[in-house]
Amino acid sequence: MIKIICICGARPNFIKVAPLIHVFKKNGNFDTLVVHTGQHYDENMSMLFFDELNIPKPDVNLEVGSSSHAVQTAEIMKRFELVLLDFKPDFVLVVGDVNSTIACGLVAVKLGVELIHVEAGLRSFDRSMPEEINRLLTDSISDLLFCTEQSGVNNLIREGIPKEKIFLVGNVMIDTLLQNKTKAEKSNILNRLNLNSDGFVVLTLHRPSNVDNHVVLDGIVNALEVIQYDMPIIFPIHPRTRSNFTSSSLGEHIEKLPNVRLINPLGYLDFLKLMSSAKLVLTDSGGIQEETTILKVPCLTLRENTERPITTEIGSNQVVGTEPDKIIRAYKQVIDDDWQEPQIPPFWDGKAAERIAVIIASENRCGG
C-alpha cells in the first residue's frame, strides 16, 4: 500500500486534486490522506468544491486562514509537520503554485519524504509574482515532477532537473473539466442571471499586480466601460478584488457601469457553465487560460506574461496586457470573428491522473 498525502490549499487546487483522489481510491493500492490547509476558507472559495467534485471531505483541515505570505507559509509548515509525522507517508503530493504548495513541500523534504509536484515546470519568468517563486522552489526540491505541457519539461531540463524525474502526463485540471462537463450543462446559472447564451463576456481578476495597483485596475475598468456597451460583462468577484474596489473610488466607477455585473464567486459547475456559454473570457488566471482552451471559448489574458505558453501557441489565448487600448483592440478582433478554433494540446485527454498514478506506483516499487 502506497501512503500518500494530497494537499489542497486554494480554489484551483481542489479542481486539480479531485481526479487524483478518485484514481487513487479506484486503484486500491493507495492509502490517501487529504489535507486542506485552509488557505482559502470562504465557503464558495473552498468547501463547496468538495461537494461539487465529489471529493471526500478533507481528513485534516489546518485552518490557517488568510495572512501575509510569510505568516501563512509558516503557519502551514508548523501545522502540517504534525500531520506528516503522524501519518508517515511515502509521498506528499502538491499541486500548482500557492503558498500551501511550497510550505508543505518544504516540510516533506526536510523530513525525508518524497515530494511530488503536479503542474511542474510552468514559468512566467516574472519573479515579481509570488506564484513564480513558489513554482521555482517547489520544482527544485521535488522528486517526481509531472508536467502539463512541453514547455514545462523544457524549463525543468534547462534548470538542471534530472530527466528521469520529469514526466509529461497532461493536465489534471482538464481531467476534472471533462469529467464534469455534462453535469455542468445542467446548471441553471444562465437563467438565474437572465443571460442569453453567447451574448456576454466573463471576467475574473485576482492577481495582486492587477487588483492591488489602482492605476492598473483603473485602466482595466476603462476598457470594461467600452466593452460593456456591446454586451454584458459578468464579473464573479474575488474577495481580494472586492476589497480593493470598495476601499477606493474605483468602486464607484465600476458600479456606475450598467452592463458590468458584479456577482459573488460561483461554484465550479456554475462557473464552468458560465464560461462555456460566453462569447469571450477576460482573465488574469492561469487555469482559466487552460479551461477556455478545452471549452473552445476565446480568452484574453490581462497580464504581460503567461506560464501557460501552449495556449498562446495554439491560439486559444492572447496575452494582451492591461492597457485599455490593447484590451479593447483584442476584444474587437475576437468579436469580429478573427479567431480560429484551436487544436487541443497533447495529453489533454482526461487521463492525466491515471498516468500519474501508474508512474507513482512504478517509482514506489523501485524504491523511489
Cα-only R_g, the chain: 20
pLDDT value of residue 68: 87
Are 137 and 130 in contact, with CB atoms under 8 Å apart? no
253 has catalytic annotation: no
Which one from 206, 214, 238, 253 is the annotated catalytic residue? 206
pLDDT value of residue 47: 62
Q: What residue ranges define each of the domains in the chain, with the CATH number in brackets?
A: 2-171+348-365 (3.40.50.2000), 181-335 (3.40.50.2000)
pLDDT value of residue 11: 81
Closest residue by Cα to residue 143 from 122, 121, 116? 116
3-state SS, residue 214: helix
pLDDT value of residue 57: 82
Output the pTM of the full model: 0.94
Query: How many other CB atoms sit within 10 Å of the CB of residue 248?
Result: 13
User: How far apart are the C-alpha atoms of 172 and 163, rounded to whole Å?
Assistant: 21
Tell the residue number behind the cell numbers 478545452, with chain if given. Answer: 294
pLDDT value of residue 41: 59
pLDDT value of residue 45: 47
User: How far apart are the C-alpha atoms of 153 and 161, rounded to whole Å?
Assistant: 9
Residues contacting 211, CB < 8 A, separation 6+:
205, 217, 238, 240, 241, 244
Percentage helix, strand, coil for the chain under 3-state DSSP, each rounded to 5: 50, 15, 35
Count Cα neighbours of 252 within 13 Å in the Cβ-side half-sphere.
3
- In the chain, which residues have pLDDT < 50? 45, 368
Question: Per-residue DSSP letters for 125-172?
Answer: --TTSHHHHHHHHHHHH-SEEEESSHHHHHHHHHTT--GGGEEE---H
Are 150 and 310 in contact, with CB atoms under 8 Å apart? yes
Query: How many other CB atoms sit within 10 Å of the CB of residue 197?
Result: 11
